Amino acid sequence: MLDEAVVPLPAGTFTIGKTFTFEAGHRLPSLPPDHKCSRQHGHSYQVEVILNAPALTGPGFVADFGDLAPFKTFLDTELDHHNLHEILPVEPTSENLARFLAGWFIHHLEPQIPGRLVAIRVRETARSWARFDVEPQ
């Protein structure tokens, strides 16, 4: 069995990420009528949750991926197959959606899990994404 004398373990921070998906439609009503995003359209959203911790818990986790299930439940019940411009308190750009989801995660899930939310990344397409980074507290 190898030990730290053979492989010294450096100091640092551990980071994990998990990606969730949902389908939804939206439009951006504040854009001019001739802008393509002012019209109703849909996306296969990917939402990546990024967490970190200075130390590991349990068998060696920042957080157990299974403990993130309530976030998936929220996405499935509240956002999946909805028109986001009709239900969100902000205009449903990827940037605003990432910030909104970070707020939900911090308020509803972060107090019950080890690890701290670093960022939420929202991907509308394979080539475009927005990321909201949470300020350290």
81 is catalytic: yes
- The residue from 23, 41, 78, 81 that is catalytic is 81
Closest CA to 123 of 29, 40, 13, 17: 17
The DSSP code for 77 is I
76 alpha carbon, distance to own chain's centre = 14
The pairing of beta strand 128-133 with beta strand 41-53:
unpaired
Cα separation values, 120 from 35, 37, 40, 117, Å: 27, 22, 24, 8
Do residues 118 and 52 touch, judged by C-beta distance below 8 A?
yes
The pLDDT score that the predictor gives to residue 9 is: 85
- The reply to whether 4 falls in a domain is no
- The residue from 37, 91, 95, 110 that is catalytic is 37
Q: Residue 10 and residue 27: Cα distance in Å, rounded? A: 48
- The reply to whether 9 falls in a domain is no
- The reply to whether 5 falls in a domain is no
The pairing of beta strand 128-133 with beta strand 116-125:
antiparallel
- The reply to whether 76 falls in a domain is yes
pLDDT tens digit sequence for 60-111: 999 999 999 999 999 999 999 999 999 999 999 999 999 999 999 999 999 9
4 is catalytic: no
Q: How confident is the model at residue 4 (pLDDT cuts 50, 70, 90)?
A: low
pLDDT tens digit sequence for 110-127: 999 999 999 999 999 999
Structural domain range at position 37: 14-133
| Whole-number percent of the chain with pLDDT over 70 | 99
- The reply to whether 2 falls in a domain is no
Query: Average pLDDT, stretch 20-35?
Result: 96
Whether pLDDT at 2 is above 90:
no
77: domain CATH number is 3.30.479.10
- The reply to whether 109 falls in a domain is yes
Whether pLDDT at 1 is above 80:
no
Whether pLDDT at 59 is above 80:
yes
Q: Residue 35 and residue 62: Cα distance in Å, rounded? A: 43
The pLDDT score that the predictor gives to residue 13 is: 95
Token pair belonging to 11: 């100091």
Whether pLDDT at 137 is above 80:
no
Please tell me the total count of domains within the chain: 1
- The reply to whether 50 falls in a domain is yes
Cα separation values, 52 from 64, 85, 117, 135, Å: 12, 31, 7, 13
- The reply to whether 1 falls in a domain is no
- Taking all residues of the chain, what is their mean pLDDT, rounded to a whole number? 95
Q: How many residues does the chain have?
A: 137
